[in-house]
Structure 1
Amino acid sequence: MISFTKQGKGNPLILLHGFCESKEMWQDISRELAQEHRVYCLDLPGFGDSQGKSLPQNLEEVAVILQEWMEEQSVYNPIIIGHSLGGYVALALAELMGSELRGIGLFHSSAFADDEAKQHTRNKTISFVKKHGVDKFIASFVPPLFAELHKSENQEAIDLLIEIGKKTPKETVLNYIKAMRDRKDRFEVWKTFQGPKLLIAGELDQAVKIDSSRAHQDFTTAYHELADVGHMGMFEAKEKCLEILKAFLEQRG
């Protein structure tokens, strides 16, 4: 069962959260965007309130679950924007649904598969979570997502994300680390997707390096780099991100 919020009227926009996050992370952004659009914020399967009997084993399964949810909710031709893991899911949906999506956006995310170094890091994280548990992992995982100069002003957001993350079941954490580690390269999907494409990158992002983001630029309808921002632009540069999102959505109707 997919837990979600729905606000506003107009063309549908789906916002997908990142790893160990939940739909609540979008509350400020969605409130603003709902003035002109019908905004859905989802908990991905296994996160937040989207708990079920079985967890998806890969991103393709996640995409199928979300496609079925769209059919159930009569959500047609949406724009889908995903943060980090949410961007990986958005690309899996683009591969699955193609022109049934009005547009896609990567928010601190990438169409590339993990390289060998990143896969090694994922494996170390799996070992850490198995040994020390979710709470200790989340406490060390969340703060570095923010650029150093933005941490103090975003302490409330950091605390919120730690609180959300600690509620994530251990099995969900481990399953999604493996799913991200083993995900296929979808750069060709990004290149060939016919609808409008948005990419928002942080120059100081340690999770999605800026060089990786820049490699997408030539195949992107609207490409934006956020100076002095890490992996959490919706908090670190909220007003700028809102400006970018509104402009992208207004141009697409």
Structure 2
Amino acid sequence: MQLYSRSAGSGTPLVLLHAFPLSSAMWLAQREGLAPACQVITPDMRGFGGSPLGDDAPSLDVMADDVARLLDREGVERAVVGGQSMGGYVTMAFCRRHPDRLLGVVLADTKAAADPEPARHNRERIAEAVLRDGSAILVEEVLPPQLGATTKRSRPMVTGRVRGLVQSAPPAAVAWAQRAMAARPDSFDTLRGLKVPALVVVGDEDELSPPSEAEAMAGAVPDGRLVVIETAGHLSAMEQPEAFNRAVADFVRSVA
């Protein structure tokens, strides 16, 4: 894992972990917009954004341990840790493996349930196709459901930016991440055991991780809070950055 950016802001450290198959570049609006409220740390996860993939077997636990080592390097004892989509899966693995490093948790457009068998098979199919043929399948199959209907209809700059990030994803990293996500466990017990507050964010047009799943996640956390962002899909941080930033800034201030 490579540190892509740490904002010049002061205050509570906030680690944001990017969605699949993007990179930390997705957090540009958060690095700028949240800097007055906290120190924003946005790493590239294994294989993405120029970060080395390494030789470890695919595992969210490996990615979570990368985050812990990053905090060590930055001299951060505890932080608010959060992520969108795949970044949320890594965050939940971090909650299991490093609970003493948490001040709070942000889970955006993600799921606590494990993949059912058809979804695991589909991840493997995409992993094999990417390694064989490149990013075409990502643009054709992975990209469309990531964006909400409103973004597809009226936010061409966001659509173009996401497409560019998807097309630049290295095939080996894509396959590794797909296999890591396919093997993830159910995380509802992890959420029920959280000793810190958690903010669950979801776009109201998210087809991949719909609001009903976000409600279940927020309800499982002893101090869980739910924010639904209007006219946003699975990438709410990019589709509606101002609303996303307001929700996260309010949450960070409340746990500081």
Would you say 1:15 and 2:16 are equivalent positions?
A: yes
Secondary structure, counterpart of 2:155 in structure 1: helix
Residue equivalent to 2:187: 186
For 1:104-183, list aligned pairs within 5 A. 104-134=105-135, 136-140=136-140, 141-183=142-184
For 1:1-253, list aligned pairs within 5 A. 1-7=1-7, 8-54=9-55, 57-134=58-135, 136-140=136-140, 141-220=142-221, 221-253=224-256
Query: How many corresponding residue pairs?
Result: 252
Q: Is the 8 A contact 2:198 2:218 kept in 1?
A: no
Identity of aligned residues (%): 24
The alpha carbon displacement at 1:214 in A equals 2.0
**CA deviation map 1:167-191 (0-9, x unaligned):** 2221111111111111111111111
Segments of 5+ residues of structure 1 without an aligned counterpart are none
Q: 1:5 to 1:214 in 2, by over 3 A?
A: same
**CA deviation map 1:54-85 (0-9, x unaligned):** 35521111111221121122112100110100
| Worse-matched range after superposition: 157-166 or 7-16 | 157-166
Give 1:11's aligned amino acid: T
The alpha carbon displacement at 1:23 in A equals 1.0
Give 1:6's aligned amino acid: R
Q: Is the 8 A contact 1:83 1:108 kept in 2?
A: yes
Give the Cα separation in 2 of the matches to 1:231 and 1:52. Answer: 25
- Per the normalisation by structure 2, the TM-score is 0.91
C-alpha RMSD of the superposition: 1.8
Segments of 5+ residues of structure 2 without an aligned counterpart are none
Q: Is the 8 A contact 1:23 1:48 kept in 2?
A: yes
- Per the normalisation by structure 1, the TM-score is 0.92
